[in-house]
Amino acid sequence: MNTNRHTDEELVQYYLATQQSDYFGQLYKRYSNKVYRRCLTITKDPTDAEDYMQDIFIRVMSGLHNFKGKSSFSTWLYTVSTNYCMDRMKMGRRQTDCVELDGEIMKTLAENNDHAGMEERYEMVDLILNKIAPIESKYLRMKYEENMNIKEMAILLQVKDSAVKMRLKRVRDKVKDILIFYQRY
């Protein structure tokens, strides 16, 4: 089977339909060096870049059904690669940072926890995330941990931009209400 003559999008569809590794292997051959170079640009470390590249392709292979063809495969893969590397780099810096929900929420957290340690702040964020529905938590994580913009979220969630904006507003309001409740007690 000669997979060199197929477009990226055809290879994706063939792989999804048959689960034959030759199709995904061709995508890997086409893009592994590009993904590696992207990872290296972000990490500045060849070992990390190699590890990240492998992780990215494992994730892409298992999440290929998320590729909807609204952009080219290479653009989608580039976005996945960049987001993965940036997330991993942030995880390294996150030891001293809180997960930022938005300016007002963090201000409220800071006001309520002036003397609290970082561990208590993490516990408060975890408590809040456990008090809201998983889909609401997903919206916050996509926006503030993965640094996705409204358009990216809308494409991934298959909803309109306005729906993402409204849902984010509702979740933020809910989180503020939770913070106010815990502030009183």
pLDDT tens-digit series, residues 112-169: 444 445 566 667 777 777 778 888 888 888 887 778 888 888 888 888 988 888 888 8
Token pair in block for residue 182? 């815990």
Shared domain for 15 and 85, answered yes or no, is yes
Residue 55: inside a domain:
yes
Residue 57: inside a domain:
yes
Shared domain for 117 and 136, answered yes or no, is yes
Confidence of residue 174 (pLDDT cuts 50, 70, 90): confident
Residue 73: inside a domain:
yes
Burial of 135 from C-beta contacts in 10 A (0-12 / 13-18 / 19+) = exposed
Shared domain for 47 and 107, answered yes or no, is no
Shared domain for 107 and 132, answered yes or no, is yes
Q: Around Cβ 137, how many Cβ atoms within 10 Å?
A: 16
Shared domain for 53 and 34, answered yes or no, is yes
Instruction: Tell me the C-alpha distance between 138 and 116, whole Å.
Output: 27
Residue 1: inside a domain:
no
More confident residue, 169 or 181: 169
pLDDT tens-digit series, residues 19-40: 888 888 888 999 999 999 999 8
Residue 121: inside a domain:
yes
Burial of 156 from C-beta contacts in 10 A (0-12 / 13-18 / 19+) = middle
Shared domain for 82 and 121, answered yes or no, is no
Residue 98: inside a domain:
no
Shared domain for 41 and 75, answered yes or no, is yes
Residue 40: inside a domain:
yes
Domain count, the chain: 2
Shared domain for 87 and 123, answered yes or no, is no
Domain that holds residue 165: 103-184
The mean pLDDT value of the chain amounts to 78
Instruction: Tell me the C-alpha distance between 141 and 99, whole Å.
Output: 9
